[in-house]
Each structure stands twice: as structure tokens, then as C-alpha cells.
Structure 1
């Protein structure tokens, strides 16, 4: 899954982040290494400490930077998209381990992304199909936290195989009682608002409340924190209605495939400082 882009500006046009942390070697994944055990222990301590304070109920991510990270590291763009999905699993695990985050919403594919090269779009659609299946059928993460998955957006524009997979994923997780993961694809907030207004007007006078009732991403759990990676400071037509005067926006100097605990924990600490 890849980050969305603005209608008239591709990711190639955006400024490169200045932070060099994203080229540091990853934490070793071998559970027997002393470095991994040390890092894992520190992470568990940090999460336990965070859980003692106020936490956002709804956190949203604009997952930006897969392609630029791919070019910087010299790997294929498709591999960058795959690493972006791995980052999503990693971040979900961090968020849900805190036990009090009720909803996570991610911008996986914008309507404007269909303007990209057909080969890249086709590869993204296949990646979305296989990873959605993985999340619903073989994911310890989904089972562990009883995650309910929703795919929101103009689903009729997706290839039939992806539409069917999205339907199966939602069906498989509809009775889960844990947090909700909203995967926005293909999505644009202005399109969502227009559709909601049209549907609401058919049922009576158009009001703020009636429009909100027809949004794809519900407003019953307000967005507390919105994070965009890659040092890009704009919302790119994402959750324009759902963001409110209390939403904290963080524009992080890190590519999405490298986003992890060292980026998320300071954001959560900043949230706690404003709520204490």
C-alpha cells in the first residue's frame, strides 16, 4: 500500500526530508541477539509508561514516502510499497499494544493515484489484495487484538479481485470486538463529503449532523492525532471533515517504511502533555 499524493503534485516533486535517521540500519530481528532483547525491553517499558497516561482513541496516518525511500535506497518501487505494508503492521502493533486506542485510520490509496503509471497501479492493487488477505486470514495481529477491518472509499473503482477481497476481509472481521482499522482506498475526502451530502439530502434537510451520519469514516470517535510522514506538511484531501479543533497534526521527518517506535512514542508523549 502506498501513500496518496495531491492532484497536481507527485511525490517526486516534494522536498526530501532532511533527517538521516531513515538510512540507519534496522533493529536486528533475531530474537536471540542481545541488541534485540535490549531494544525490546526498552520498548515494552516505554509502552507500559505511556499506558499510564491519557492516550488518543483515534489516530490517523498518511503513509507517505514509499517511492522516495525506494529511490534513495536503490530498490524497486514495488519493494518499497511492500516495506510500507510491513511498516503498517509494525505501527499497528505499537498502537494496539497500548490497549486504549479504539480506531486507526490509514490513507492507503488516493483517488488521484490512479493517474500513476499503469504497471505501478497494477502492482499496488495486487499488493493490496494479497496483504488484505494476509491481515484477515493469517495475521496474529488481527487475532490478538480482535481487530475489525473496514475498507472505505470508491471501492467500485478497484479491480474486481480487490473488491472481492475487501468484502471477504470485512465479512471475516465484522464480529471482532477490538479496535477498528479503517483502510482508505481509493479515497478522497472531498469526494466522501460530496457523496455524504448527496445521500443525506435525499432523506431530508441537509445538516451537519445528517451529513456526518453518511461519511465513510465515522465521526463518533473524533480524530485525536493525525500523522503524516516524509516531512510533507499538508493533509492531501484526507479526513477534512473528521479533523476538528482538537486534532493534533504531526508532520514527521521520516519516510513511512522507516516509521516506528522512535517516531511514534514522542508523538504520543506530546499528546499526553496537552492532556495532563
Structure 2
């Protein structure tokens, strides 16, 4: 006998509907703009801090629902760079909430390891208070090898800042001689972004009824399904998630076609760039051009160039990854022992 028979019925219905959904394509990576915490607080006559806390609790529920469906990666918009323009009290409240939650995560290390949860924080974390930077670095480093489920937290993030950051990385790579200007492509730009470690974004959900992306995953959502839900984030339910997934399934084939078309176009552009680079090199060696063409065909030379290009790119990306890893490790090493315990 159940204390809550109506909840038992609800749970059975939820499982049944989930099983039906899983008969179709399920998104592997879902992005969420968790909008409406402040309006929820106002609507329910509570202070904003309580509204943000309710929003965090809703995230925990949503991650469980996603994992049960087989959605193994979720990216959430926790704090935009633009949010620094809010009132001092609200910014302080959000920072304190982040501080508490990341500290709580580190108190539950065994659970994170048991469930294989990987935490990533995407954004310019140097804009955050030092102790929060160190909390973030510890959580990211501790969980980096976990594979079962991934939570990406966009904190001190905007998509435009991410793209600008990636372009600065590319410019630095060219100036250091690690890559050439001709090596730069859409794919390489994406690999320089904070989101480079994420899977392809399948579904993006925004709550509160607003129909805009607010500078969130602009690049990544180019070939994703968008679902705008007319409910405040703390009121988001499993049924809203199911509806968004059903919307994704209805559009799945069109998204796949668009992605495939884009990939073919980008591959063609890369081949054309390699060919132009080879011909430019041959033009600079005009006196030896005929001898070179006799000894090796242009097609083979283009293939050799493509191999060298990929080697340059790999070296550049490996150095970039090492720099990011060292930054996080240095943050952890500078953390006072009393705070880390």
C-alpha cells in the first residue's frame, strides 16, 4: 500500500510515456535556458534569492529526468556576463548560491564518482571571485574523467564572448607560427571555443515564454531543434521535457539532413582551400613548378599538404588544451588547504 497512490500512478504514467518516447530518436545533448526564477519569486511573493534556489532545485530534478531518458549531456545557462549588470545584491546572491553549490558538490565526491558525473564550467571564469574560481577548478578537475553523464554549466558566459575568445586563440596560434591563416575553418574555430568538448547540441529549451536565445550557444544551435516553453523555470515539469523531446523527434530528419549538407559543404571548402594553398606555393616556385609537377602530381601534393595541415592543427589544439588544463590545476594548487578539506 502506498502512502501516495496518486504519485504511484503518476510515476507509472511517467515511465510509460518515457518508454514510448525512447522508441524514437532521443537527443544526446540538451541545452537549457533556465529563465523565469525572478518572475516566479514575484508571482509567489518570495524574495529573488528563494526564486533562484527553487530554480537550482528544479535543475536537479531535470537532470534525473534526462538521464532516465538516455540524455547523457546537459548544458545550462547559469550566469551570463550580462548578469553582472544586475543589482549588486542580486549578483552577490547568485555568487553565494554558486559558492554553496560547488562546495556542496565537493562534499559529495563519492556520489559523483559512483554515478560517473562529469562537471564542466564553460565561460570566462576569471571574471568570478577567486574562491569561486577555485571551487569550480576543483570540481572540474575531480570529475574530468567521468563519462556516464555530463553537466556543462555556462557561467560568466555569452556566446559572442566565446566566439571572440576563440578568434583571439586563432590569432595567437597564427602569430606563434603554430597554424597558418589558411588552416582556419569553421571547424577549427569551434574547437577553440569553451564548448569544444561538448557533443553536438541536439535540442535547446528555453522556459518563461521568451522567444530568443539571449546570447546562449548561438554557434552550437545552428542545426539544433529549438523549443520555447511557456512556463517559468521553477514550474518546469517532466511533461514539458517530454513535449520538447517530441518536438525534436518530429524535426529530427530535417535536422539530420541540414547537418549532413553543412558537413559536405565544409569538407568541400577545406579541399578547395588546400588546393589553393598548394597552387600558391607552386606559383612562388615558378622556376621549379614544371619539375615539381613532373615528380609529384598536384593531387598527391594536395594530400600531403592536408596531412601537414592536420598535424599543425593537432599541435595547436594540444597546446591550447594543455594551457586550459594548467590554468585549472594552478587554481586548485593555490587554494588554501582549510577551504579544500
TM-score (structure 1 length as normaliser): 0.83
| Separation in structure 1 between the aligned mates of residue 80 and residue 137 of structure 2, nearest angstrom | 19
2:153 match: 183
| Separation in structure 1 between the aligned mates of residue 141 and residue 198 of structure 2, nearest angstrom | 22
1:160 match: 130
Q: 1:60 aligns with which of 4, 9, 31?
A: 31
Q: 1:255 aligns with which of 232, 235, 238?
A: 232
Mind listing any 5+ residue stretches in structure 1 that lack a counterpart? 1-30
Rg: which structure is higher? Answer: 2
More helix by share: 2
- Would the aligned equivalents of 2:41 and 2:50 in 1 still touch at CA under 8 Å? yes
| Separation in structure 1 between the aligned mates of residue 164 and residue 150 of structure 2, nearest angstrom | 24
**Cα-to-partner distance string for 1:191-232 (whole Å, 9 max, x where unaligned):** 000010110122232321221111101276221110110000
| Separation in structure 1 between the aligned mates of residue 170 and residue 137 of structure 2, nearest angstrom | 24
- Would the aligned equivalents of 2:225 and 2:251 in 1 still touch at CA under 8 Å? no
Find the residue that maps to 1:151 and give its secondary structure. strand
Output the aligned Cα RMSD: 1.9
Mind listing any 5+ residue stretches in structure 2 that lack a counterpart? 174-178, 254-341
Number of equivalences: 244
TM-score (structure 2 length as normaliser): 0.68
1:25 match: none
| Separation in structure 1 between the aligned mates of residue 99 and residue 221 of structure 2, nearest angstrom | 29
1:76-95 map, 5 Å: 76-95=47-66
CA separation of 1:220 and 1:159: change in aligned 2, threshold 3 A: closer
| Separation in structure 2 between the aligned mates of residue 61 and residue 80 of structure 1, nearest angstrom | 17
Which has the bigger relative contact order, CA under 8 A and spacing at least 6? 1
CA separation of 1:139 and 1:44: change in aligned 2, threshold 3 A: farther
Q: 1:70 aligns with which of 27, 41, 51?
A: 41
